[in-house]
Amino acid sequence: MPTLALPGGAIPVLGLGTWQAQGTAAERAVSAALQLGYRHIDTATMYRNEEEVGRALSTVGIDRDDVFVTTKLPPERVGRERRTLTESLVALNLDHLDLWLIHWPPGGDAAPRTWEAFRAARDEGLVRSIGVSNYSVAQIDQLVEATGEAPAVNQIPYSPADHDPGLLAAHRDRGVVVEGYSPLKRSDLRAPALVDAAAAHGVTPAQVVLRWHLQHDVVVIPKSTDRQRLAANLDVVGFELTEQEMARIDALA
């Protein structure tokens, strides 16, 4: 699986999202994903499944350094960053995170004080890279202005319908990797551009959507608890969309 560089290490461009996966279903999905070859797992404190993710990570028998793990701070935990991080690490049974995100701008504010707490946790080795989620470019600029450091990642909803070359360029100009969530939920898998590309490559429209993200250097984290779909979502490195196919899919926006 290809990776993109972050300040604290490389992030696999495709991972498993776990939003709305809870209980034994979450644990089974993460275990299956790791067995299939996923090496990037995304969770969050507000998902209430960190313990299940942690059990899967502990029991599959894969070296910790081979798996990229992300969790997120809920906006209502502002002011309790360190306590929340400690609770997440205990739940996940880890001694560090690969990526910690501010899940939403608290009250619509960029929250530079919280960003300073994130930087401190990173500097102490509890987190390898730090970032944000659901932030605007203007809010990222506020963090940079206040602290001198941009987030490594901004996790936002992204799909062909959301495609915005200017937005991607603005993030890259600031050294911020874009990570897209809900890629399939936000896509019309019946769109001719997706159906035609899928037929041309002998894959599914969903696989075309994920491959489209990869070719735009957008990290993508589709969620599934079905083993067959998990396998299909991972199997997107064996084909490449043409420039014409990419342009047609871009135009869905």
Q: Please identify every residue annotated as catalytic.
A: 47
Phi-psi region of 218 (alpha: psi -120 to 50; beta: other; left: phi over 0): beta
State the Cα–Cα distance between residues 187 and 191, nearest whole angstrom.
9
158/148 Cα distance (integer angstroms): 27
Angstrom distance (rounded) from CA 78 to CA 97: 18
Residue 136: HSE in the Cβ half-sphere, 13 Å Cα cutoff: 7
- Cβ distance 70 to 101 under 8 Å? yes
Which has the closest alpha carbon to 54: 20, 18, 104? 18
Distance from the Cα of residue 35 to its chain's centroid: 19
Which residues are CB-neighbours of 90 under 8 A, at least 6 positions away?
none
